[in-house]
Amino acid sequence: MDQDLAKEEGGRKDKAILCLGIGIILAIAPLLMPNNYWLRIYTMAGLFVMLALGLNVVAGFAGLLDLSYVAFFGIGGYTYAFLSSNHFNIHLSFLLVLPLSAIITMGFGFALGSTSLRLKGDYLAIVTLAFAQIFRLLLLNLDRPINITGGVNGIYNLDPINLFGLSIESPIATSYLIWFFAVIVVLGSFRIKKSRLGRGWEAIREDELAAEAMGVNTTKMKLLAFAGGAFIAGATGTLFASLQESVFPNNFDFPQLVIIYCMVILGGLGNIVGVVLGAILLSILPEFLREYGAYRMMSYGLILIVLMALRPQGIMGEIGFLTKGKKRPDKEETGVLKASTDLYYTEGGKTEQQIRPRYKRNDRPMLELKNVTMSFGGLKAVDDLSFTLHEREILSMIGPNGAGKTTVFNLVSGIYPPSLGKVLFEDADITGLKPHQVVKAGIARTFQNLRLFSNMSVLDNAKVSQFCRTQSGPISILFHLPRYRSEEIETETVTKEKLGLFGARLTGYRFDQKAMSLSYANRRRLEIARAISTSAKLLMLDEPSAGMNPQETIEITDFIKKLRDVYGYTILVIEHKLNVVKRISDRVVALDYGRKIAEGSYEEVANHPQVIEAYLGRKKN
């Protein structure tokens, strides 16, 4: 423990030195520039850092391929041109226009986001590209019949920047101003990335459906990404327009977008330090290649192709020989793995005592399905199904492949709305709620074919689940308000406690391991850990023992029992291994062709003639 504290202290010291160093560089850099030409490049680099970080919010954090980003930059620029120039003879002060144009642009980002929310990947890219083209066509053509945008010639003679009556016109002063804003955007990016919002976006990027099923409001988060990116782009556009003192449609055209994308991708999508370096590098590098000016755009294209083929994670991604191998407690000094039995579950926290042995018939119903039907076209995957799950009951669903078991999970968890019928949870109607609302109500699930956030750490996988239990928004996060701090501490405590239920399998050094580096069985365990980290009362486990060996199966069976007996969860489980079903179930429901063919104790169901028929076929007469 003392060691940890000392480490943290040391880390803080290093950080302070780093900040001081960067501060000094930023303070003297403008003075060191050999001439105004280089000073301007330095200033433009600051602008590009902001632009690239704004794009990084949308494309990097949230993984949305937004090709209209450059239009937001343009909206910011043109807003300043409209509000601070002779064009309409409006001369608002810079300090008023800057936040105003950022907010206006954010509004456009919000509008674009809400129209294209349902689209994924390629479709989103193409729709946003079409939006950007419409924007460009409007800029070019809205000079007739009334001159709004100035057409091809743009708008010039914009007001210079004016701060409290102090006109900022010297190149040095402007460079300080731009880099001041750039530093704010960098710091803000770090804070957002570390917060619940950052984790939520990362989860969406990894697996959108799983994120939604773990309680992340994906709709809201994607809108927030669009709006956040647009906010930064709008502010940068205003700064750019005031710096150039003019705006032209060409400033906001497709090639500009490609340059910004190259910066973000060179740095590595989502990697803040990388993106900053990428932006600086690609602002300076072309200046050395000026003689080959014509090849500049061509080389950007080549950069994209080569990076995607060889280093899609960007320059700052993990570099094999540079990342020191962390010492793993499950490895000997020689690198040989210790036997895994050394790490067998360590009992943490509660002693094993049964709170309640079994459910009783008069227990409170938790989940009720009433005549639920789900049809895909003509096929009824679930047909008029009704059953009740009581508090602290373990109910198993069995049935041959294609019987509709997983569809029942999808219906309850809100992935599909049922065609007919009702789903009640704790007497409240949850039919047709979105998956994240169902999680918030208290139902969490696992996936049969493992949908972990593979590139996130074990701890972050679990932390995503606390998203729906926390509220802090961008403002609390950016200013580290008390609410944010207390929520982060709460999230940390809850997730570590839940992961702790699995002992050394998921704790200690494993907190920081990527989910994809875990063994198959541990990934199954993490699926369950992630589900219980949502603070749900009802767990739906989809084949928790699939692919596990006999020893692991026994372990997980005991664990599921413990979840109910010790921690009081109510559990609905799909399982094919009948010895598991036998050991854990209070009751069993058997499905075939979407219909319930039997319900009752394990023995009753297992000996039911229709169940035997469904599994083994009919006896020959």
Partner 1 sequence: MDIYLQQLPQQLVNGLTLGGVYALIAIGYTMVYGILSMLNFAHGEVYMIGGFIGWWVLYLLSRGNVPILHASLIISLMMIIAMALSGLLGVIIERFAYRPLRKAPRMNLLLSALGVSIFLQNLVLNYQGAKARSFPVSSLIPENLRVIEAGGVVFSFMRILVIVVAFGLMALLTILIKKTKVGKAMRATAQDTEAATFMGIDVDRIIVLVFLIGSALGGAAGTLVGLLFTQVDYYVGFQAGLKGFTAAVLGGIGNIFGAMIGGILLGLIESLATTFFPATYKDVVAFIILIVVLIFRPWGLMGEKIPEKV
Where along the sequence are the contacts to partner 1 (CB under 8 A)?
Answer: 63, 65, 115-116, 118-119, 121-123, 125-127, 129-131, 133-134, 137-138, 140-141, 209, 254-255, 258, 261, 265, 294-295, 297-298, 300-305, 308-309, 312, 376, 406, 410, 415-416, 447
Say how many C-beta atoms besides its own lie within 10 A of residue 619's C-beta.
Answer: 8
Of 104 and 408, which has the nearer Cβ to partner 1? 408
Beta bridge partners of 540: 445, 572
Parallel, antiparallel or unpaired: strands 394-398 and 587-592: parallel
What is the closest distance, in whole angstroms, from the C-beta atom of residue 514 to partner 1 in the complex? 16
Label residue 353 exposed, middle or buried (CB < 10 Å: 0-12, 13-18, 19+): exposed
What is the closest distance, in whole angstroms, from the C-beta atom of residue 293 to partner 1 in the complex? 10
Q: How far apart are CA 531 and CA 533, in angstroms?
A: 5
**DSSP one-letter string for 88-144:** TTEE--HHHHHHHHHHHHHHHHHHHHHHSTT--HHHHHHHHHHHHHHHHHHHHHTTS
Of 134 and 187, which has the nearer Cβ to partner 1? 134
What is the closest distance, in whole angstroms, from the C-beta atom of residue 447 to partner 1 in the complex? 8
Q: What are phi and psi for residue 433, nearest 5 degrees?
A: -70, 155
What is the closest distance, in whole angstroms, from the C-beta atom of residue 116 to partner 1 in the complex? 7
Of 294 and 616, which has the nearer Cβ to partner 1? 294
What is the closest distance, in whole angstroms, from the C-beta atom of residue 175 to partner 1 in the complex? 30
Of 17 and 130, which has the nearer Cβ to partner 1? 130
Parallel, antiparallel or unpaired: strands 365-376 and 420-425: antiparallel
| Residue 39 near residue 254, CB atoms below 8 Å | no
Strand order in the sheet with 428-429: 379-390, 365-376, 420-425, 428-429
Of 110 and 416, which has the nearer Cβ to partner 1? 416
Of 178 and 411, which has the nearer Cβ to partner 1? 411
Of 209 and 475, which has the nearer Cβ to partner 1? 209
What is the closest distance, in whole angstroms, from the C-beta atom of residue 270 to partner 1 in the complex? 12
Q: How far apart are CA 620 and CA 531, in angstroms?
A: 45
Amino acid at 109: G
What is the closest distance, in whole angstroms, from the C-beta atom of residue 412 to partner 1 in the complex? 13
Of 126 and 273, which has the nearer Cβ to partner 1? 126
What is the closest distance, in whole angstroms, from the C-beta atom of residue 161 to partner 1 in the complex? 33
Q: How far apart are CA 87 and CA 153, in angstroms?
A: 12
Q: How far apart are CA 287 and CA 281, in angstroms?
A: 10
Q: How far apart are CA 163 and CA 122, in angstroms?
A: 43
Of 166 and 294, which has the nearer Cβ to partner 1? 294
What is the closest distance, in whole angstroms, from the C-beta atom of residue 67 to partner 1 in the complex? 8
Q: How far apart are CA 65 and CA 125, in angstroms?
A: 5
Say how many C-beta atoms besides its own lie within 10 A of residue 508's C-beta.
Answer: 17
Of 390 and 451, which has the nearer Cβ to partner 1? 451
**DSSP one-letter string for 313-356:** T-TTS--TTTSPPPPPTTB-TTSPBPPGGGG-----SS----S-
Beta bridge partners of 574: 397, 542
Tokens of 293: 């000016």
Q: How far apart are CA 60 and CA 78, in angstroms?
A: 26
What is the closest distance, in whole angstroms, from the C-beta atom of residue 552 to partner 1 in the complex? 25
Of 447 and 453, which has the nearer Cβ to partner 1? 447
What is the closest distance, in whole angstroms, from the C-beta atom of residue 245 to partner 1 in the complex? 27
What is the closest distance, in whole angstroms, from the C-beta atom of residue 291 to partner 1 in the complex? 14
Peptide bond just before 30 cis, omega within 30 deg: no
Measuring CA to CA, which residue among 503, 584, 498, 510 is closest to residue 541?
584
| Residue 270 near residue 202, CB atoms below 8 Å | yes
Of 130 and 489, which has the nearer Cβ to partner 1? 130
Q: How far apart are CA 280 and CA 285, in angstroms?
A: 8
Of 126 and 315, which has the nearer Cβ to partner 1? 126
Of 240 and 447, which has the nearer Cβ to partner 1? 447
CA angle 507, 332, 345 (to 5 degrees): 30
